[in-house]
């Protein structure tokens, strides 16, 4: 005696087109979001060497201050004066008062005066978590 197996009709009516559309939209979203997060790290600033440099283990919400050789402050791709930089830092400290991190990336030929100015502006804005970024090669 043959056993008849009745297949359900739910599988035959399932349309995969909306699911594929959602996956493509999520893929595009994450590709675009990743691109914007890496934009600040792509500014070409030669960094000084530090033999004790350690990589970050946790990616906090950080604000990058890039200082070029002429002492110009670059934040989010915009060149800022010291007073404009202070406004950006105050706004960042207001939006994230507990753990706002600032990474100062200074050109290795820039005068120390500009780095000290950036540190003083961080202190004035109430940001205590600031650090200088260097390369890891010792020299």
**pLDDT score of 47 more than 80:** no
pLDDT tens digits for 64-75?
999 998 989 999
Residue 12 lies in a domain: no
Its pTM stands at 0.56
Residue 74 lies in a domain: yes
Residue 55 lies in a domain: yes
How far is it, in rounded angstroms, from Cα 77 to Cα 52?
A: 29
How far, CA to CA in Å, does 11 sit from each of 21, 30, 70, 121, 136?
19, 31, 66, 63, 57
Q: Are 89 and 102 in contact (CB under 8 A)?
A: yes
Three-state SS sequence of 14-33: CCCHHHHHHHHHHHHHHHHH
When pLDDT is cut at 50, 70 and 90, the band that residue 139 belongs to is very low
Residue 61 lies in a domain: yes
- The tally of domains found in the chain comes to 1
Determine what percent of the chain is predicted with pLDDT higher than 90.
Answer: 38
> What's the CATH code of the domain at 112?
3.30.420.270
Residue 5 lies in a domain: no
Q: Between these two residues, 107 and 9, which has the higher pLDDT value?
A: 107
| pLDDT at residue 58, rounded to an integer | 45
Residue 18 lies in a domain: no
| pLDDT at residue 59, rounded to an integer | 44
Average pLDDT, the chain: 81
Grouping H, G, I as helix, E, B as strand and the rest as coil, residue 77 is coil
Mean per-residue pLDDT, 91-96: 87
Residue 115 lies in a domain: yes
Residue 29 lies in a domain: no
Containing domain of residue 88, as a range?
46-132
How far is it, in rounded angstroms, from Cα 108 to Cα 110?
A: 6
Q: Are 63 and 102 in contact (CB under 8 A)?
A: yes
| pLDDT at residue 41, rounded to an integer | 65
């Amino acid at each position: 005696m043959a056993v008849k197996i009745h297949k359900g009709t739910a599988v035959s009516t399932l349309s995969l087109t909306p699911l594929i559309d959602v996956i493509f939209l999520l893929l595009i979203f994450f590709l675009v979001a990743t691109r914007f997060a890496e934009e600040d790290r792509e500014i070409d600033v030669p960094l000084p060497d530090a033999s004790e440099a350690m990589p970050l283990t946790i990616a906090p919400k950080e604000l990058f201050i890039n200082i070029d050789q002429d002492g110009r402050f670059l934040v989010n791709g915009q060149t800022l004066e010291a007073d404009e930089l202070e406004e950006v830092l105050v706004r960042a400290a207001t939006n994230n008062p507990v753990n706002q991190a600032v990474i100062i990336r200074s050109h290795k030929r820039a005068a120390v005066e500009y780095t000290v100015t950036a540190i003083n502006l961080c202190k004035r804005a109430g940001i205590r978590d600031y650090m200088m970024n260097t390369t890891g090669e010792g020299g």
